[in-house]
Each structure stands twice: as structure tokens, then as C-alpha cells.
Amino acid sequence: MSIGTTRERLTAWGRWQRHGQNLGLSYKSPAEAMIRLKLGAGVGEPPVCDDDALFVDRAIARLKHRDGDLYEVLFLSYVYSLGSREIGKRLHRDHKWAQRMLFSAECWVDGRLDLVAA
């Protein structure tokens, strides 16, 4: 699997997390809620397969137990859609540190998904 494919899966996982947990990230109109209920996805977003999202979620849960910093950076990036500067600011670190940590987390998840898929 390539890192690009893993990033796509992480992006889908982030959407799945946002829709599965009421994080209060944005206002949803009643009409949009009805459309989402009918379509099973966010408006304008491709549907996320629960099985694939759970597969990625298990890998990320392992990462959380292995390295909390990597997990936190990954979560802030993919679930809250924050950039490296904002992540660095929130964690009181340099944005270059956040970029390195995010890349390390993505590579770790990529390796874990490859290992489990093999």
C-alpha cells in the first residue's frame, strides 16, 4: 500500500469519526440532517465503509497505546482538519515538529495496515 492510499483511508476515517461522534464541529440544518439520514453520508462527501473505517480505527488505537503524541497529532489532523501550524500551536511545539510527527504517524499506520492486510 502507498502512503497516498493510507492518507485517503485516514481522511475517510476522519470523516467517519466526525459523523460518528457529535464533536460539535459545525451547525447542521434540519434539512441537511434529513438528507444525511436518507443518504447515509455527509452532503457532498463520498460514503465511508464502516468495515474499512473500523479496520483503520483498530490500527490507530494501537498507535494511541504505543505513542500518544503521534496519535494526538494524527487525530488533530484528520478528525479536526487542523494544519501543522495549528497543531504545533495547540501542543506548544514548532510546526516543523508537527509535520514530522504527522508523517511518522501516517507511516506507522501505513505499516500497520500493510502488516494486518498481509
- Of 38, 33, 5, 4, which Cα lies nearest the Cα of 19? 33
45 versus 68: the higher-pLDDT residue is 68
Q: Which three cell numbers stand for residue 87?
A: 497543531
User: Model's pTM, two decimal places?
Assistant: 0.78
pLDDT score at 23? 47
Which sign does the torsion angle of CA 49, 52, 55, 61 carry?
A: negative
pLDDT at 85 over 90: yes
pLDDT in tens, 47-82: 777 888 899 999 999 999 999 999 999 999 999 999
Mean pLDDT, range 31-56, rounded to an integer: 67
What is the distance in angstroms between the CA of the first residue and the CA of the last residue of the chain? 10
Better-scored residue on pLDDT, 54 or 41: 54
3-state DSSP call for residue 83? Answer: coil
Distance CA 43, CA 47 (A): 10
Q: What is the mean pLDDT of the chain?
A: 84
Would you state the pLDDT for residue 56? 95
Report the sign of the C-alpha dihedral through residues 69, 108, 88, 83, in that order: negative
Q: Which residues contact 33 (CB under 8 A, 6 or more apart)?
A: none
Q: How many Å apart are CA 100 and CA 11, to the nearest integer?
A: 18
